């Protein structure tokens, strides 16, 4: 019998009525003869509320205790959803991440899944039960509770689908699928019927919060069939597919924005081979992800390096480098927060020149200055002032022909 993994996000389980509606979706799937594994997020904004409470008590809460706290959110929803399934007369059992066999590394707050032991889940499925697993959490080899990073329930769903050899993994959310841009910010955005793994991966990394980037990576690596669809309306959603299975490829498929960007400039570094290794090695040791990097040579003796990071870790990155000023030998460090990144993504970009030129022209016509640029074969990203980012994203969406055309009747 085929297995299906269905993930329901915070809004989808945000109230008692929503939990009952989700139980109905699962029941319909079960009645079609599938073996069902549901993965759920914490109800509504409850993770944000838990973070808020922690910050009221301590400005820098211990990462271990944060995981202990945040993991409780998902535990509420698995128990309530399982009760809703029982109420429908269905056999169901809730499992925390660790009961479900999800082991991770020990990096609190952004743990990576190492292994999934599916024994408990398969035993329950064999007994005809629906299994409801808490998303976003696991257990380390030291038996510590860990979480996978905000939005991580998508990743739980995909790794379970991979480990169980599920037919497909459905990500149920509060929009009808993946759009050409965030539909809450750009109302002219259009729902896509399909998108390639590569484009989805770029969009997710570049700020399209509809999927946790690591869930797309895991789906691509393990060839998990993934669909994003609404838990509110019964529509077909967006399938994430291999490029070779796609019928069309657009110039630009989507626009993403990320409003949490900071830039750090390290000026007057010694101009020798090991400088970059040391600098970025220190940041890697502190588990700080660096995004765009620009190096400019002053003269034979000195270089400047500028890089962007997520603003959440911006000050930490500055502190790490300041603490190593004498070791690194730089003259000065400059920090700039309040920035954002707007990006255009599309596999069709590869074959067509002029996308970058059009992007710069569109932004400059809107009076938006580009502070940093990064490109790959299928994306162009520009760092700009945060206040101008949404206007920039809207203009780019229009300029690349992605706006929905209203049909007048």
Footprint of ligand ASP on this chain (CB under 6 A)?
Answer: 9-10, 41-42, 47, 73, 135-136, 150-153
Residue 133 binds which entry of ligand ASP, ligand ADP, Mg ion, none, CB below 5-8 Å type-dependent: none
Q: Cβ(8)–Cβ(41) under 8 Å?
A: yes
Query: Does 179 engage in binding with ligand ADP (CB under 6 A)?
Result: yes
Counting Cβ atoms within 10 Å, is residue 2 exposed (0-12), middle (13-18) or buried (19+)? exposed
CB of 154 to ligand ASP, least distance (A): 6
> Rounded to whole angstroms, what are the CA distances from 191 to 169, 170, 310?
19, 16, 28
330 is in an annotated binding site: no
Residue 151 within binding range of Mg ion, rule CB under 5 A: yes
9 annotated as ligand-binding: yes
Q: In which residue are the tokens 């990203």 written?
A: 381
174, interface contact from Mg ion, ligand ASP, ligand ADP, none, CB < 5-8 Å by kind: ligand ADP
CA-wise closest residue to 338 among 258, 255, 267, 256? 258
Instruction: Say if residue 167 carries a ligand binding annotation.
Output: no
Rank residues 254 and 314 by Cβ distance to ligand ADP and give the closer one.
Answer: 254
Of 123-142, binders to ligand ADP (CB under 6 A) are none
Q: List all residues 6 or more positions away from 93 whose beta carbon is below 8 Å from its beta carbon.
A: 82, 124, 129, 130, 131, 132
Report how far residue 327's alpha carbon sits from residue 132's, in angstroms, rounded to the nearest whole number: 51
Tell me which of ligand ASP, Mg ion, ligand ADP, none is bound by residue 101, counting a contact when its beta carbon lies within the kind-specific cut-off of 5 to 8 angstroms.
none
- CA-nearest of 12, 71, 7 to 39 is 7
Is residue 74 annotated as involved in ligand binding? yes
DSSP 11-63: GGGSSHHHHHHHHHHHHHHHHTT-EEEEEEPPSTTHHHHHHHHHHHH-SS--H
Per CB under 6 A, which region of 47-55, 173-181, 338-346, 383-391 contacts ligand ADP?
173-181
Q: Which CB atom, from 45 or from 88, has the smaller least distance to ligand ASP?
A: 45
- Both tokens of 100, joined, read 């479900």
Q: Which of 209, 268, 329, 337 touches ligand ADP by CB under 6 A?
A: 209
Q: How many residues bind Mg ion (CB under 5 A)?
A: 2
Annotated binding site: 7-10, 47, 74, 173-174, 179, 184
Annotated binding site for substrate: 47, 74
Annotated binding site for ATP: 7-10, 173-174, 179, 184
């Amino acid at each position: 019998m085929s297995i299906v993994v269905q993930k329901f996000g915070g809004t989808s389980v945000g109230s008692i009525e929503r939990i009952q509606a989700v139980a109905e979706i699962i029941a319909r799937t079960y009645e079609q003869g599938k073996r069902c594994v549901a993965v759920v997020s914490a109800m509504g904004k409850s993770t944000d509320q838990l973070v808020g409470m922690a910050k009221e008590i301590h400005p820098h809460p211990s990462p271990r205790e944060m995981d202990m706290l945040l993991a409780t959110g998902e535990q509420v929803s698995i128990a309530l959803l399982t009760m809703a399934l029982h109420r429908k007369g269905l056999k169901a059992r809730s499992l925390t991440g660790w009961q479900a066999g999800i082991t991770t590394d020990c990096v609190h707050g952004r743990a990576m899944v190492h292994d999934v032991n599916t024994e408990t889940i398969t035993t329950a499925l064999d007994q005809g039960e629906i299994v409801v697993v808490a998303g976003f959490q696991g257990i380390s080899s030291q038996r510590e509770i860990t979480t996978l990073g905000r939005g991580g329930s998508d990743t739980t769903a995909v790794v379970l689908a991979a480990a169980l050899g599920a037919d497909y993994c459905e990500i149920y959310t509060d929009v009808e699928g993946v759009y050409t841009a965030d539909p809450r910010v750009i109302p002219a955005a259009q729902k896509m019927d399909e998108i390639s793994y590569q484009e989805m991966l770029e969009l997710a990394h570049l700020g399209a919060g509809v999927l946790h980037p690591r869930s797309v990576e895991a789906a691509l690596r393990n060839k998990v069939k993934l669909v994003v669809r609404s838990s509110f309306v019964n529509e077909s959603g967006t399938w994430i597919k291999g490029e070779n299975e796609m019928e069309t490829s657009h110039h630009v498929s989507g626009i993403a924005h990320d409003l949490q960007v900071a830039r750090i400039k390290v000026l007057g570094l010694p101009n020798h081979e090991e400088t970059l290794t040391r600098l970025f090695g220190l940041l890697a040791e502190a588990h700080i992800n660096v995004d765009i990097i620009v190096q400019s040579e002053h003269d034979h003796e000195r270089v400047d390096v500028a890089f962007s990071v997520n603003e959440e870790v911006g000050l930490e990155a500055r502190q790490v480098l300041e603490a190593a000023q004498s070791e690194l030998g730089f003259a000065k460090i400059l920090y700039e927060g309040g920035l954002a990144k707007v990006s255009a993504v599309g596999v069709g970009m590869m074959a067509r020149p002029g996308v970058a030129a059009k992007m710069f022209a569109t932004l400059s016509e809107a009076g938006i200055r580009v502070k940093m640029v990064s490109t790959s074969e299928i994306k162009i990203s520009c760092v700009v002032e945060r206040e101008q980012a949404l206007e920039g994203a809207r203009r780019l969406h229009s300029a690349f022909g992605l706006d929905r055309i209203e049909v007048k009747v």
